[in-house]
Amino acid sequence: MTAAEATKSNGMKKDIAIYVCLLILAAFQFVIAFQNISSSQMLIRMLVVACAEAALAALFFMHLWTEKRGFLLFVAIFTVFVILGMQFGWTDSSRMVVGAPYSTTEK
């Protein structure tokens, strides 16, 4: 086996290992769906697993891990910052159910 073939073989082994990890994490999401817990707990657990899956896929399948650290930081910080920025509206969403705080007319 030549050096190039050995490198390719090792790379494919790593790819398969990441693939198996992703399958296990995906299966874990399905297990969570059948747990006897509240919807909010289920949502949090599923999102944590989904974030782990996304990190694995981005770092190793999309080869972000081998890019320059500056680029990795750029993608991570920009994406996380904007997604966190979108969370401002949850209070409005809850208000649709429980009513706006301090807006009651009751004395």
Partner 1 sequence: MSQVNVPLAGHSTDLTVGPAFSIPTKKLAMWLFIIADTMTFAACLLAYGFLRNGAANWPRPFHSITNVAVMTLILLTSSLTMLFGLRAARAGDKSAAFRWTMVTAALGIVFALLHIREWLALIHEGMTLFQNPWGNGLFGASFFSITGLHLTHVTGGVIALLAVGLRYRAGRYNADDVEVLSLYWHFVDLVWMFVVPLVYLLNLSH
Site for partner 1, rule CB under 8 A: 4-5, 8, 11-12, 15-16, 19, 22-23, 26, 29-30, 32-34, 39, 42-43, 46-47, 49-50, 53-54, 57-58, 61-62, 67-68, 70-71, 74-75, 78-79, 82-83, 86-87, 89-90, 92-97
C-alpha 73: how far from chain center? 16
Cβ distance to partner 1 smaller for residue 49 or 105: 49
Task: Compute the distance between CA of residue 71 and CA of residue 64 in angstroms, rounded to an integer.
Answer: 8
32, 53 in Cβ contact below 8 A? no
From the CB of 107, what's the least distance to partner 1, in Å? 27
Q: Return the HEC string of 59-85.
A: HHHCCHHHCCHHHHHHHHHHHHHHHHH
Least distance (Å) between residue 103 CB and partner 1: 16
Residue closer to partner 1 by CB (options 84, 102) is 84
b/e map of 69-104 (b: 16 or more CB within 10 Å)? eeeeeeeeeeeeeeeeeeeeeeeeeeeeeeeeeeee
Closest distance to partner 1 from the beta carbon of 102 (Å): 19
Considering the complex, state which of residue 93 and residue 107 has its C-beta at the smaller distance from partner 1. 93
